[in-house]
Structure formats: structure tokens, C-alpha cells
Amino acid sequence: MDRITERYVTEFSTEYHIESLDESERFEHFAAFCVIKQHHNIHFDTDDVVTGDGRHNQNGNDGGGTDTGIDAVAIIVNGTLITDVESLAMYESDSSSLDVQFIFIQAERSSSFSAAKVVTFGGGVTDFFSENPRLNRNARVAAAAEVATKIYELSTKFDRGLPSCKLYYVTTGKWQDDTNIQARINILTEDLRDTDIFSAVELTPVDAARLQALYRQTRNAVTKTFSFPNKIAVGDVSGVKDAYIGFLPSTEFVKVISRETGEMLPGLFESNVRDWYGYNEVNKEIQSTLKSETNDMFVLMNNGITLIARKLVPSGNRLSITDFQIVNGCQTSHVLHDNRTLLTDRVMVPVRIISTDDEGVIASIVRATNRQTEVKEEQFFALQEFPRQLEQFFQSFSEESKRLYYERRTCQYDRLGIDKGRVITEANVIRSFASMFLDEAHRTTRNYKSIRDKVTKEIFAKGHRLEPYYAASYVFYALEMLFKKGKLESRLKPARFHIIMAFRLLVGEPVPPMHANEMSRYCDGIMKNLWDGTRCEELLLKAANIVTVVAENDFQRDNIRAEPFTAKVRASFPNRA
């Protein structure tokens, strides 16, 4: 491994607590992180995508030789990384369409690329999608293949096209456009295309230089430079550095929201109150307008797009924007991107571009621009105000050992040299809180949508104390560290939210109301246990043991991810029904 790649792998390993792994395993995690970050900007744990490493071999389930030639698998559905079949349940009854990407990675520290490795890698991917697989799969590959099978059972929701399949062959060598290897790549991709289950298939060789560039991209904010001649500068506005209003050619706008590969940039709509709705009646009408001979009327028929950037640099008719979000216009953006091959410069888009770091100004703009259709006040609070308060609370502790980082905005901590284990995503805050304080550990995966639907009512509700969200998140962090250090076997991971619930039951009852001052005092007691490393570990190991006994050592999903199992865990504690 060259000196620069080695330094990057070491830096990554320290930030993500994988120093104990062998170098080859650490490289697999590093390569998976760099590649997947191109497609999925939300913070994720590479443990969830790498198919096998030293920490997963304790029971012989995930040993080497059974990963079928695949070192990592990422399945991204509507911008969400899906790691088990239960996570797809929320899409079964949902009317929205599915946008699916399959990403496969083979990572070698070799100084050269190998045609034989391409064949092995391709064989593993082909077998992955086979209805009658022949290769011996470890538990992680089998779980990912189960997700793929379930996705294709939902194929009626592929309104935006079949899933894409992207393969990356990563080495620390230099790609030389070897004709023999390229021929193998062409044969492999053609064979996969011939299955007729993908919209596109690509195999990309990634050498040391490309891998290093990908890692550097994860540390830098996205910048886009584009032509914007039809604009008017807005005068001085309190809290705003720069602002422009105008009409942007749709072709330029699509470039702004797309990667060089043509895919939409991930994480653009994290500050948006509404998600992509799919092709409902309104979005079908937008599409119909773009397909019509009078598509130049689009500019008069559309409410436009509001974009907020942390940095904006004008230069004549061009603008450069860095670290930006679309806070209004999610539906329009998706329809334009989906129909980009139809667009010409005569299709113009009304655009507001605002540069500000003032969170209050951002919140006000989000609120105002999303009033075109009804959004309830509690939705604004739960999706905008509460996360902002939580982010500030998590970072308010002066001691680094007590501090957590709530990822309110996509990639906001990627460029900081902090302990990435302390970065907690919104989904894990919600899951941990629901497990620890609502006793709903069984719903964290199998029926996560039912928990997400509690946001504004029982979760992220106005008046809730912030301490229980921090306490639940800290338990999640501390538990993950035990898994990473090998002090808990990875087979217990499917029950991790039950362990979080059991931790709180060990600390004591009753739980005060979420809005009461008493809740603050109650959480103070929990946090004292959490901040005492020895005591925290002791309680978590005890909680894990209780869950193991209740599970009768069976951590199959069907056994533990159901309400009766949660009830059994609760009943194992005194004075619990």
C-alpha cells in the first residue's frame, strides 16, 4: 500500500474505531466508505455493508471464503441504506415509487488489477441475483440477497425505472486500461444487462489515485459553478450574505443537482419539510408539461426552487455555490432530473439562491417557502426546530468524552477530524429513544415507519426535554463501541435496541413525563452511569445477558423482532408487566 493511501486508511480507522482489525480488513472498510459515500451522504457504519471481517467470525458464520468474492454490498432505496429485509416493510404499503441502487465492492491491496479477480467478483454478483444460487454465502451476503429478492417482489413500484447495478473493483495499484481486463469487464457487464433486471450496469476500476480522490471528496463540501445570466441581486437583507432571484435554464439546474455520472447528488433535501412523493397527480402534471410542445410555459406554471448555500461566489454571469441544500422544490427537482433528456434551454426554472449561515434565517425561509400547501405547525417544529435544539444540546458538554454529534444536516461532520462513532443519525436517535423510553424496540426495524409516524406526537414533540434523547443516543454509542471492541459478539446486533431498552429497565422506574423537570433529574442519574466507563460497560453487558437469556440464544429476526419478545424482556424485570 502506498504511503498516502496508508495514511488515509489509518486516519479513517482511528475515526471509526476499527484499529483492531487486520490491515486487509481495514482497507475493505475504507474502500467501502469511499465508494458508497458517492451515492449515500448520510452517516453510516461500514460494519453494515462489509460482508465479513474479524469481528464477525466468532461463530463461524461470516468467515473468509464465503463472501462469494464480494467485499461489501450497499443497497440504497429512495436514499436510505437498507441492511435487512424488515426495513423494506415501510415501502410495502407506501404508495411512493422505489428508486433502487445496488452497489458491490471488491477491495484488494494488490499493486495491480487482475482479470481473474474480475471474473471472481463478477461471478459473485451474478450468483447474488440468481434464483438458484450455487455459491456458499455467509450470513451477511445471504441477508443482502434476501433484501434484493424482496425488492424485486415490489417491482410494481419501479415507476422511475429498474434498479441500477454498480460494481467497483478497488486496488492500491494504477489502472492502465489493460485490454484483457477491460474485455472481462465488458463480458461481465453485458451478462448482467442480459438478465433484464437492471436499468444500467457499470463496473468501475478504482486505483490508488482515484481512491484517494474519493476520500478527499468525503472531507470537502460539494461546490457547483454554473451560468446564471437571468438573475437579479437582492439588496441588503438581515442575516443574509448574498441572494439572487432569477430564471435558470433547466439544463443548468440539472447540472447543479447532479454528479458527473448523471446521478442526483445525495442529501440535497435534508432541510426540506416534504419528501419526494413519487409520481402523484401533481408531479405527473409537471412531467406532462415538460413533455409537451409548450414546455416553455413551465417557467410561468411552476412555483420555483429555493436553494440555500453556505458559501456563494459570483463572477459575471456565473455563480459558485458550496455546501448547499434545496429547502423548497423537492418535487420539481426530482421531476426535472428524471426527465433531463427532454430538457432544453427554453425550459426555464424560477430559482432563489440564498447564502447564509444564520440558522434562524434558514428556518424562517424553510417555513415561509413551504406554506404553499398545508404543513402543520408541529411538523415545522419536529422537522426543523427540535433537531436544531438537539444538535446544540448534544455539543453543549465541555468534556469531549460526554459530547455527541447529532447529524442534522447531511455530511456536516464529514470534514471534521472528530470521533465518527459519536455522530448519531436522526434514524438512530429516533430508534434509540423509542426503544429506551417508549418500550418499542421491536418496531425499530420491522415497523420503523410506525415509529417515524410518532414524530410530532410522542417523539420530537414541543415541550419534550432534550435529556432523554441524549441519554438514549449515548447508550446507542456506548453499545456500538462494545461491538467494535469485540466485547459483545456481533450476533447480538439484531437485538441491540432491546439491549438499549433493558439498560433503561436496569437503571430503574418509573419514567417521568417527557416534558417534566423531573425527567431532567431522572436522566441525570442515567448519564452518571453512562459517563462512568466501567459502570456503563457493566450495565450494558448485564443488559445484553438478560436479552440473551430471554432470546434463549436465538437471535434470528423472527424470534426477536416481534412485540411478544419485547414483552418478555420487560417481564424479566421486577414490577414490569
352 - beta bridge partners?
245, 306
Q: How would you write the pLDDT of the chain (577 residues) with one tens digit per residue?
A: 889 999 999 999 999 999 989 999 999 999 999 999 988 878 899 999 999 855 544 443 444 457 788 999 999 998 889 988 888 877 877 667 888 999 999 999 998 999 999 999 999 999 999 999 999 999 899 999 999 999 999 999 998 889 999 999 999 999 998 899 999 999 999 999 999 999 999 999 999 999 999 999 888 778 999 999 999 999 888 889 999 999 999 999 999 999 877 888 877 887 665 667 778 888 889 999 999 999 999 999 998 999 999 899 999 899 999 989 888 888 899 999 999 999 999 999 999 999 998 877 877 787 777 655 555 554 555 566 788 888 889 989 989 899 999 987 766 787 778 889 999 988 899 999 999 999 998 888 767 778 878 887 888 888 899 999 999 999 999 999 999 888 999 889 889 999 999 999 998 778 899 999 999 999 999 999 999 999 999 999 999 999 999 999 888 777 787 888 999 998 888 655 4
Per-residue confidence (pLDDT) for residue 562, from 0 to 100: 82
Neighbours of 22 (CB within 10 A): 10
- Quote the pLDDT of residue 271: 66
* Rounded-to-integer distance, Cα 469 and Cα 38, Å: 30
Within a 13 Å sphere around the CA of 359, how many CA atoms are in the beta-carbon half?
10
Please return the burial class of 209, using the count of CB atoms within 10 Å of its CB with bins 0-12, 13-18 and 19+: middle
pLDDT at 150: 94
Question: Which uninterrupted H or E stretch holds 474?
Answer: helix 467-484
Pairwise CA distance, residues 178 & 169, whole Å: 14
Q: What integer pLDDT is reported at residue 63 of this predicted model?
A: 44
pLDDT of residue 57: 45
Least Cα distance to 137 among 225, 54, 67 occurs for 67
Whole-prediction pTM value?
0.77
pLDDT at 577: 41
If we measure between CA atoms, which residue out of 326, 308, 334 comes closest to residue 272? 326
Q: Cα 504–506–507 angle (5° rounding)?
A: 65
Instruction: For residues 485 and 388, give the distance between their C-alpha atoms in angstroms, rounded to a whole number.
Output: 32
Query: pLDDT at position 568, please?
Result: 92
Q: What is the pLDDT of residue 218?
A: 85
Q: How far is CA 231 from CA 204, 228, 249, 452, in A?
A: 39, 6, 11, 40
309 Cβ neighbours under 8 A, 6+ residues apart: 321, 322, 323, 324, 325, 353, 354, 355
